[in-house]
Chain A
Amino acid sequence: QSALTQPPSASGSPGQSVTISCTGTSSDVGSYNYVSWYQQHPGKAPKLMIYEVSKRPSGVPDRLSGSKSGNTASLTVSGLQAEDEADYYCSSYAGSSNLVFGGGTKLTVL
């Protein structure tokens, strides 16, 4: 299966909102509500931020939200803070016990 498509980069000023898209196909994102989002700071392991499209694990601020429409999922980071600067990856169940990740988006806080 092919990787999900994410924009290579996104940016915003402190306090602003930024939305990162994650485009798949009708075989993955479009078929299942099993989309997750991960944040990865340089040199660190990824951290789960959103699962099942829009659910937040305990401890994740509600400034982060997820949604999905058709074959595209989105992560919105509101009230941008310096600590939000990181790489973000989406993932989706792709059927037949397979999982697929997106290529990643580098979020810069200006």
Chain B
Amino acid sequence: EVQLVQSGAEVKKPGESLKISCKGSGYSFTSYWIGWVRQMPGKGLEWMGIIYPGDSDTRYSPSFQGQVTISADKSITTAFLQWSSLKASDTAMYYCARPGLGYCSSTSCRGGAFDMWGQGTMVTVSS
């Protein structure tokens, strides 16, 4: 069964660091891009960025460039999203998703549609 399983909910204080994970299974992890999507409480979806685990090629939304780091460890078929210094405004649900349909190649994912999603990781940042 193809699935993405994310790490559990986190409660952190402002200024702390955090790394959440997304483990892929049931498919060739290094052959598909994985994206990250933020959903703030009661709000819509926001695309954060995407990584190709085969060579760690990473693209960021201009809105999130420099604010987070996306990485992947293909040896454990896991993608990561990390913060070095959290802010209260980082409080949100974070989803990883695989663009398994549409146009994606090893060098580009311009037309990728996210047909597989993780269950989400809720991150709460509060003093």
Contact = CB atoms under 8 A, between A and B. Distances in A.
Interface of A: 1, 3, 32-34, 36, 38, 40, 45-48, 51-52, 55, 57, 89, 91, 93, 97-104
Nearest to A50: B113
Contacts of A45: 95, 117-120
Contacts, number: 76
Interface string B106-125: 00111101110111100000
B110 A32 contact: yes
Given A45-B95, A45-B120, A48-B101, A100 B47 contact: yes
Contact of A46 (B45, B102, B109): B45
Among B35, B44, B50, B101, residue most surrounded by chain A Cβ atoms (within 10 Å)? B44
B44 A98 contact: no
Contacts of A89: 44-45
Please classify how large the interface on chain B is, using the bins under 10, 10 to 19, 20 to 34, 35 or more: 20 to 34
Contacts of B50: 97, 99
Among A33, A93, A104, residue most surrounded by chain B Cβ atoms (within 10 Å)? A93
Contacts of B44: 3, 89, 101-104
A12 B72 CA distance: 44
Interface of B: 35, 37, 44-47, 50, 59, 61-62, 95, 97, 101-103, 108-111, 113-115, 117-120
Nearest to A46: B117
B118 to A, nearest CB: 7
A57 B118 CA distance: 18
A22 to B, nearest CB: 12
